[in-house]
Amino acid sequence: MSAINSTLYISHPSQVLSGAVTLPASKSESNRALIIEALSGAGSQLDNLSEANDTRVITRLLSETANELNAEDAGTVMRFMTAYLAVTGQQKIITGTPRMLQRPIGVLVDALRELGAQIDYLGQEGYPPLAFRGIDRNREYPATLKVRGDISSQYISALLMVAPLFPNGLTLELTGKIGSRPYIQMTLALMKHFGAEGHFEGNIIHVPPQTYQPASYIIESDWSGASYWYSMVALAKDATVELKGLRRNSFQGDSAIANIMLNIGVQTTYNANSVTLTKTNKNEVFAYDFSDCPDLAQTIAVVCAAKGIAAEMSGLESLRIKETDRIAALQQELRKMGGDLEDIGNGIFRVKPITNFAAGPVFDTYEDHRMAMAFAPLALVSKIAIQEPHVVRKSYPRFWQDLESMGFTLEAAN
């Protein structure tokens, strides 16, 4: 299928799925491994790097010689490169798309400034673009930094990856509720693989001063990408789908999708280097805290709305500052089919089931790859349309081709 730039109409004639999918590699693992590899010196070998645009961007920026770097729409890249540029003492500018310039980065910049980094805002205070003027390695800096735990874990991971390079290492005290803990643990696991140990107990993370060692690492397939196939299996009339490249003992927090989807009607069987998904009975109601896996929230909200499951969802705070305000986007798009994501207070949202499955809803994607992929499985219930479907390139460039291989009918319209 050629590139799609406007609207994609999607349906599935049989509503039956059978076959195997080779998932893209995890961009979360890839982007962390690339930063750590760059800090480790020559000699590392990374295999099965993600094809996602975010990973292509960070690969390009790590070798870029120009004075100004463009992180495009990649929040992970902006945050990880900010810490990398600071600790390596480079004098460069980093910018991004208009939406990226609206995404806050002040928490990370404040922390890096305390550690001696000289960083200036070139626009609005607390937001990119940023200018780096090197790092003062002779100054005293605090033995412990306090960082909010309820912000994006990417800020914390960015600090952790550069922590071994400071003369006394770094101790982070995470204040308040800690979100996306598995992503922090993933970062520490990859650091350890490259020779730098950190210790995470309670709300304290301590990383001693160390030197990264070159190593080889094979990137696992992406559990976030797998979540959309779980949704498709849940909505299909019948399904047996094998997802290749996934591990039972994964570093990725989004591997939680296997347990979550048991509530929604999908059974997971673990194989040597893959999982097989089949249909099972659903629960009528369930509740889940997405603090540790916020990227699964859109998938779950849509599939529960489609299956009439009265799910209560919490831990969604970070969704407001993603590629778009994902809570508002979900509400707007679900309402097109009579569903909703209702704010019932105290940080809890309740899924209102879809009541109108008439063919033809056109879903906007808000420059957000996860909006496109979360709503695409609804094509197993009725014909739908996705606006600007090319946004999937951010994390799963082959998504539409993989749908075609599993019997979906795709029609592009300009």
Q: Is 124 annotated as a binding residue?
A: no
User: Which residues is 407 bridged to in the sheet?
Assistant: none
- The whole-angstrom separation of Cα 87 and Cα 115 is 9
Q: Is 314 annotated as a binding residue?
A: no
- Cα 279 versus chain centre, distance: 26
Q: Is 180 annotated as a binding residue?
A: yes
Residue of 292, 295, 368, 402 with catalytic role: 295
State residue 266 phi and psi, 5-degree precision: -130, 125
Q: Is 75 annotated as a binding residue?
A: yes
Q: Is 154 annotated as a binding residue?
A: yes
- The whole-angstrom separation of Cα 276 and Cα 134 is 50
Q: Is 326 annotated as a binding residue?
A: yes
Q: Known catalytic residue: 254?
A: no
Which of 183, 181, 184, 211 is CA-nearest to residue 197?
211
Which of 308, 371, 316 is CA-nearest to residue 343?
316
Q: Is 237 annotated as a binding residue?
A: no
Q: Is 60 annotated as a binding residue?
A: no
Q: Is 325 annotated as a binding residue?
A: no
Pairing of strands 348-352, 340-345: antiparallel
Give the tokens for residue 36.
Answer: 């750590």
Distances (CA, A) of 184 to 163, 203, 251, 253, 291: 13, 12, 10, 9, 12
- The whole-angstrom separation of Cα 162 and Cα 35 is 9
- The whole-angstrom separation of Cα 125 and Cα 177 is 25
Length of the chain: 414
Q: Is 210 annotated as a binding residue?
A: no
3-state secondary structure 160-174: HHHHHHCCCCEEEEE
Q: How are strands ordered across the β-sheet holding 117-121?
A: 68-70, 93-95, 130-135, 117-121
Q: Is 225 annotated as a binding residue?
A: no
Q: Is 352 annotated as a binding residue?
A: no
Residues labelled catalytic: 295
Binding positions: 27-28, 32, 75, 103, 152-154, 180, 295, 322, 326, 370, 394
Binding positions for 3-phosphoshikimate: 27-28, 32, 152-154, 180, 295, 322
Binding positions for phosphoenolpyruvate: 27, 75, 103, 154, 326, 370, 394
